[in-house]
Amino acid sequence: MFGFQSLLNSVLVAVSVASLADASRLGRRDGPNHTGFIHTSTLKTYGQGQNPPSSLTGATISETCKSFAQNALNVPAEQVWWQGATKEGAAVRTGFLRQQWQGVTFSNAVANVAMKGDKVVAFGNSFVDLAAADIAPSVPTVSNQTAIATAEKTLGATRTEAPLGLEYYVKEDGAVALAHIVQVRNREEGSFFEAFVDAHNGELLTAVDFRAAATFRVIPIERQDPEQGGFELLVDPEDPAASPFGWQSDGVETTTDTSGNNVFAFLDTTVGDTTVESSPGVFDFAADLAAEPGSSLDAARVNVFYTVNTIHDITYRYGFTSFNFQLSNEDGSQGVAGDPVLASVQSSQGLNNAQFLTPPDGTAGQMTMFLWDLTNPGRDGSLSNDIIAHEYMHGVTNRMTGGGTGRCLQSLEAGGMGEGWSDVLSMWVAQTSATVADFTLGTFVTGGQNIRSRPYSTDPNVNEFTFSSVLQFSQVHGTHSFPSPPEIGEIWANILFNVYAQMVEAKGFSATAKTDPTGTEGNVVFMQLMLDALSLQPCQPTFITARDAWIQADENRFDGANRCLLFTAFASRGMGPNASENFVDDFTVPADC
Ligand SMILES: *[C@@H]1O[C@H](CO)[C@@H](O)[C@H](O)[C@H]1NC(C)=O
Ligand SMILES: *[C@@H]1O[C@H](CO)[C@@H](O)[C@H](O)[C@H]1NC(C)=O
Ligand SMILES: *[C@@H]1O[C@H](CO)[C@@H](O)[C@H](O)[C@H]1NC(C)=O
Ligand SMILES: [Zn+2]
């Protein structure tokens, strides 16, 4: 179930990765939070297009755009600065310009010229009439050091590595100030600003808040599916410590749809076919569970966007900060950027399943959510948070084991364990109290059944699997038939479920574990060790080497404080200290425990 091998042939892989660059340009709004910062801009459109003067035949796009703007605005050439253009080859290219005065560019007096072939089809601009304006001198009288101090103190944050800037800034009253531009960040609070400090009087003029927060109607992450309490309107569910720019921004561009730094959620194979906000900063779309799922596409895309982002934020908090899935790693993540998760919603390429493909770090992860037809009406895996969490965890385990190559969970045993970790993450996010109940998965899409052969349980009468059960099974995961036969992954998941239950019993439960990894409670410690162990274990881990990685992770992080607790839990399912690669159960615990 939720296979990973079978999708190596997926059409989406080619389609989506190639179109990512284009998709990332769709639905942009004109910047992050520019409150008090935008002044009037205008847009002229020209239908079929307007020819530039014939004297410009054969001119470069920069020459054409600059000349067009000069004529249209009646400004001298030295006031028009060329910023750059979109990539060559597209049907329409856009050139971007800024106003400048005495060699200093403006931050908020800008223009854009869209060209289709050699014709201008649109012209946007917010240039100001400098002949009439009150313009500050172009040489600062307040030092950049003073500006840094002001920005840091006023915004309660520290300057980042980004170089300082000096630009003109048009104030609301039309006067033009000269501004030192300082980027500051407070990692603890998750704030991240670009501050504009007046270079003549030292005052903070404005600050661009890089974080884009929003409101989403979704199934809250602790609910496995809509049948556990339904949808809710969640305000700002982003975790700023994990997604400092919010979910709809990479720190440079901000979107108005279900695409962002961590995930693009779109219909089927078209990466650009996302859901656009119902109103600015709000995704409020109802789902009709009494109808076929196709009629609730927007709710589905929004829920996938929310759930993937939330799992990103949780796993990020617990250490998935290297080789992770992000468009930009400006938050300090290690590894190659440019690889958010591309999440296909209501994929037409299958039924009754879900998939995740993990290419190496730097290439987008591919999540594919299918519809299910086991009920009438059918159901949508995109509304089943447990399935989405399961799929994302495939990406986490494949990237964290072996350092981002995506090649280290390929053996039968390691692949099976991959399924296990994924089920365990679904279980972990669904917990709301110290009471650890038996856990079933995929109940919504199967119309009330369990996608696995048995519930996960501490009770051997409910789930009898032990380490030696591995010898009975040779499958990573079941066929597409339902119910699926038992799998290696179920054994590993049930062992970890028992570790989880014993840890929570011994150390308690933190209700804030999803955003606070610093607690000492059992669910926090469990998650911490599970993720730590992933990068300690070897390529193609086994049950034994993976368990050893847990023991070492505990030594590394907690000086071995939980060693006996861990061994007792592993031993309860046959993985005591003397268990070895031959799959013979050992129910003993170390002599000192
Ligand atoms: C601040 O300004 C001084 C003098 O112009 C310059 O030498 C220095 O490099 C600037 N500092 C930064 C951090 O840009
Ligand atoms: C960002 O926008 C919010 C609400 O629109 C506002 O309260 C906040 O002050 C803004 N932040 C900055 C730095 O302008
Ligand atoms: C486990 O192994 C240790 C040595 O590594 C041995 O002393 C001990 O007797 C073994 N326990 C069992 C129950 O076989
Ligand atoms: Zn799976």
Q: Same structural domain for residues 367 and 240?
A: yes
Positions annotated as catalytic residues are 391
Q: Same structural domain for residues 375 and 428?
A: no
What is the number of domains present in the chain? 4
pLDDT of residue 437: 98
CATH of residue 561's domain is 1.10.390.10
Contact yes or no for 144/80 (Cβ under 8 A): no
Structure tokens at 111: 């223009």
Does residue 326 lie in a domain region?
A: yes
Q: Whose CA is nearest to atom 8 of ligand 2?
A: 35
Amino acid identity for residue 516 in this structure? D
Distance between Cα 328 and ligand 2 center (Å): 23
Does residue 290 lie in a domain region?
A: yes
Does residue 179 lie in a domain region?
A: yes
Please tell me if the CB atom of residue 580 comes closer than 6 angstroms to any atom of ligand 3.
no
Q: Whose CA is nearest to atom 10 of ligand 3?
A: 578
CA distance 534 to 518: 19
CA 36 to ligand 2: nearest atom: 14
Sign of CA dihedral 216, 222, 226, 232: negative
Last residue of a domain, one of 347, 368, 401: 401
Does residue 135 lie in a domain region?
A: no
pLDDT of residue 58: 74
Neighbour count for residue 559 (Cβ, 10 Å): 9
Please tell me if the CB atom of residue 212 comes closer than 6 angstroms to any atom of ligand 2.
no
Distance between Cα 233 and ligand 4 center (Å): 29
Q: Ligand 1: which of 138, 144, 167 to mutate, judged by most atoms within 8 Å of the beta carbon? A: 144
Does residue 223 lie in a domain region?
A: yes
Distance between Cα 273 and ligand 1 center (Å): 46
Contact yes or no for 43/111 (Cβ under 8 A): no
Ligand nearest to the CA of 587: 3
Q: Per residue, what are the HEC states of 19-82?
A: HHHHHCCCCEECCCECCCCCCCCEEEEEEEEECCCHHHCCCCHHHHHHHHHHHHHCCCHHHEEE
Q: Same structural domain for residues 585 and 458?
A: yes
Q: Same structural domain for residues 275 and 333?
A: yes
Does residue 133 lie in a domain region?
A: no
Does residue 50 lie in a domain region?
A: yes
Q: Same structural domain for residues 438 and 544?
A: yes
Q: Whose CA is nearest to atom 11 of ligand 1?
A: 144
Q: Same structural domain for residues 582 and 441?
A: yes
Please tell me if the CB atom of residue 207 comes closer than 6 angstroms to any atom of ligand 2.
yes
Q: Ligand 2: which of 29, 35, 206 to mutate, judged by most atoms within 8 Å of the beta carbon? A: 35
CA 586 to ligand 3: nearest atom: 13
CA 577 to ligand 3: nearest atom: 1
Q: Whose CA is nearest to atom 12 of ligand 2?
A: 209
480 is in an annotated binding site: no
Ligand nearest to the CA of 181: 1
Q: Same structural domain for residues 203 and 224?
A: no
Q: List residues near ligand 1 (CB under 6 A).
A: 144, 164
- The whole-number mean pLDDT for each consecutive block of 10 residues of the chain, a chain of 593 residues, reads 25 31 24 43 79 73 92 93 81 86 92 86 88 94 97 93 92 92 83 90 87 89 96 94 91 89 96 93 95 97 98 97 94 92 95 91 94 96 97 96 90 90 98 98 94 95 96 62 74 98 98 96 98 93 95 95 98 97 96 96
Q: Same structural domain for residues 247 and 360?
A: yes
pLDDT of residue 111: 87
The parent domain of residue 186 ranges over 144-209
pLDDT of residue 521: 98
CATH of residue 117's domain is 3.10.450
Last residue of a domain, one of 401, 433, 452: 401
Q: Whose CA is nearest to atom 2 of ligand 3?
A: 578
Please tell me if the CB atom of residue 33 comes closer than 6 angstroms to any atom of ligand 2.
yes
Which residues, in sequence order, are bridge partners of residue 120? 50, 115
Please tell me if the CB atom of residue 578 comes closer than 6 angstroms to any atom of ligand 3.
yes
Neighbour count for residue 232 (Cβ, 10 Å): 13
Last residue of a domain, one of 125, 155, 184: 125
Q: Same structural domain for residues 451 and 345?
A: no
Distance between Cα 140 and ligand 4 center (Å): 59
Please tell me if the CB atom of residue 430 comes closer than 6 angstroms to any atom of ligand 2.
no
Sorted by sequence, the CB contacts under 8 Å of residue 449 that are 6+ apart come out as: 440, 442, 443, 482, 483
Does residue 136 lie in a domain region?
A: no
* Selection from 96, 81, 74, 90 nearest residue 26 by Cα: 90
CATH of residue 283's domain is 3.10.170.10
Distance between Cα 399 and ligand 4 center (Å): 15
Q: Same structural domain for residues 218 and 367?
A: yes
pLDDT of residue 484: 67
Q: Same structural domain for residues 394 and 432?
A: no
* Selection from 197, 289, 212, 276 nearest residue 248 by Cα: 212
- Report pTM: 0.76
Distance between Cα 154 and ligand 1 center (Å): 21
Q: Same structural domain for residues 120 and 166?
A: no
Q: Whose CA is nearest to atom 12 of ligand 3?
A: 578
